[in-house]
Amino acid sequence: MDTRLSTLGETKLTSNMLELHPRSGAGMQLRDWHLKNWHLKGWRLNGWMRIGIILSVLWMLGGTGYLWQTPNNDGLSIARALLNQRSSCIGDNAVLRMEGKPELPCPSQTDVNEAFARSHTGLGSALLITGTALVLAWVAIGLVCVTTRWVMQGFKPEH
């Protein structure tokens, strides 16, 4: 049995598993290849890292969903103002029509609908905002951890 040590751990291969095909250009093929005792040496996620990963996933799902569904207040105010303008314009045009005067141009219902649609954050924008905040948070937490360790090492007596 051929045993090789890789950076990912101990990989065990049986001698029948390797076939060389130099003329076909396929290089080396592995058949019935299995990894045993596979683990990352020196890299173990501690409890805080696991909590951070879980919170990151929850942040991405919850934050993106919230931003995607929550309307932008400025855009919503503009859409409501346009809707009010349309309603008052339609009422004014009814009075002008009865008086025989020319009607005023009113915003269309399509314009109002588009204004309400623009008041919501798109999925791509929501993902970009939450993803950027997540990366900045991980960098800030990493810097705090590294700085804290560096300061604490300064207080340890040298041997």
Q: What average pLDDT is seen over the chain?
A: 76
* pLDDT value at 135 more than 90: yes
Where does the pLDDT of residue 56 fall: very low under 50, low under 70, confident under 90, or very high at 90 and above? very high
The arithmetic mean of pLDDT across residues 56-84, rounded, is 86
Instruction: Tell me the pTM.
Output: 0.50
CA 19 to chain centre: 42
19 or 112, which is more confident?
A: 112
* pLDDT value at 30 more than 50: no
Share of the chain above pLDDT 90, in %: 21
Where does the pLDDT of residue 77 fall: very low under 50, low under 70, confident under 90, or very high at 90 and above? confident
The arithmetic mean of pLDDT across residues 58-86, rounded, is 86
* pLDDT value at 44 more than 60: yes
**pLDDT score at 17:** 44
* pLDDT value at 31 more than 80: no
Share of the chain above pLDDT 70, in %: 72
* pLDDT value at 4 more than 70: no
The arithmetic mean of pLDDT across residues 140-155, rounded, is 92
